[in-house]
């Protein structure tokens, strides 16, 4: 009985760690895509493509299905915003779609 409880606790801790890994990875890739799209010789759409490529290399393809790019103005400066919506991994890599949303921002170089 104690052994089964320890297994359940271990699997729960492992799943929380995996969910945090996915969230942190998606955030890092969104920030990298925003930096790429904010370069003077690039576009926000290129940043979204870069983000999709990074996610596809490191994680499963289903995590990169909803990546969007936009450009906004904050404090008089142009900012490139990359948003990633993905499923929150609840049971292994599976979970409800759209349960996790992260974004990355970078100031556009061509001001």
CB 62 within 8 A of CB 91: no
Sign of CA dihedral 94, 100, 106, 108: positive
Name which of 30, 41, 46 is nearest 81 in CA terms: 30
The pLDDT assigned to 61 comes to 82
Please give the backbone phi and psi of residue 40, each rounded to the nearest 5 degrees, phi first.
Answer: -65, -30
List the pLDDT tens digit at each of the 111 positions of the chain. 888 899 989 988 998 898 899 999 999 999 999 999 999 888 999 999 999 999 999 988 888 888 999 999 988 899 999 999 988 887 777 777 778 899 999 999 876
């Amino acid at each position: 009985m104690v052994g089964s409880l320890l297994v359940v606790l271990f699997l729960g801790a492992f799943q929380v760690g995996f969910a945090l890994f996915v969230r942190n990875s998606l955030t890092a890739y969104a920030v990298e895509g925003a930096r790429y799209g904010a370069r003077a010789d690039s576009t926000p759409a290129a940043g979204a493509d870069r983000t999709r490529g990074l996610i596809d290399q490191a994680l499963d393809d289903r995590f990169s299905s909803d990546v969007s790019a936009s450009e906004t103005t904050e404090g008089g400066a142009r900012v490139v915003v990359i948003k990633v919506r993905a499923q929150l991994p609840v049971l292994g890599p599976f979970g409800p779609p759209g349960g996790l949303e992260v974004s990355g921002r970078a100031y556009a170089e061509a001001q």
